[in-house]
Structure 1
């Protein structure tokens, strides 16, 4: 693999576009509170398994796109997704060795920290703070979704030989 040309980078950006679409797709009201953190999950996977292709710069660009899409304070989601990418890069060597359930637990902590930073930024920007416990529910849903996300993205990566 060393010295080979990058292959099928479009698949990475296609999954990021899918993450942006899933993050704004309409859901029933009772499910809206537990919407998974799709962008953070996609960034986590690609940063974990292709750190030479996806990193903090990609996370920042995706975060700015999310800011524009959501109409939030410019740079808010960029900061949060960059934090997720940084933490995953920091733990990358260990995370790849962990079994799936431990990866989910680490991701629970990383995404929990990112949601708390998001909550802090919301309060600093003048938005009324939402209740903290329901604000953290997407973190739990995302951590439970991680094994399925991992299997789907891994099969995509291997089938398309993304490197």
Structure 2
């Protein structure tokens, strides 16, 4: 790895910060159910692209930052993002070699898993169930957006020589 690639790792942190900002951005109640999970998409891309640099600890830290910014239960997003990072790291070579439409299906499944984890954490903490059937609509939106996020992140990675 050359020095230029090592010095450009700050781009990853910047993109994760943009993902957090897009995640906490206020949306209207009608659009909120289909709001894509930008941070999840960006984090999954970087765990697949650079599994030695972006891992479970990074996902946990980013989740804590998201919990602090969004005002949710501390550790909820951190736990869920850590599990998603583990699942994507577990078979990262297989996922990287799949076609983009197959990756789209994996992203939908990871997104559903993330939403279910947050749902179960809410049940454990609040002892209340607020299940909305449209909860998984954002997972489909995440899957639809994956090819564009993947291509954009890959273009950024190649442009800044992040390896």
In structure 2, the gaps of 5 or more residues are none
Distance 1:113 1:26 in 2: 23
The runs of at least 4 consecutive aligned structure 1 residues that moved more than 6 Å come to: none
Paired positions, count: 161
Q: Where does residue 52 of structure 2 map in the other structure?
A: 52
Q: Where does residue 91 of structure 1 map in the other structure?
A: 91
Distance 2:143 2:91 in 1: 16
- For residues 13-92 of structure 1, the aligned pairs below 5 Å read 13-92=13-92
Contact between 1:7 and 1:161, CA under 8 Å: does it hold in 2?
no
Q: Where does residue 120 of structure 2 map in the other structure?
A: 120
Offset from partner CA, 1:30-75 (integer Å, 9 cap, x none): 2111111111111100000111110101100000001101111111
- TM superposition score normalised by structure 2: 0.93
- TM superposition score normalised by structure 1: 0.93
Query: Displacement, 1:127?
Result: 5.7
Query: Displacement, 1:78?
Result: 0.2
Distance 1:45 1:149 in 2: 8
Query: Displacement, 1:19?
Result: 0.5
Cα RMSD of the aligned pairs, angstroms, is 1.3
Work out whether 1:100 is the aligned partner of 2:109. Answer: no
Distance 1:43 1:85 in 2: 8
Offset from partner CA, 1:66-111 (integer Å, 9 cap, x none): 1101111111000000011000001201011100000010111111
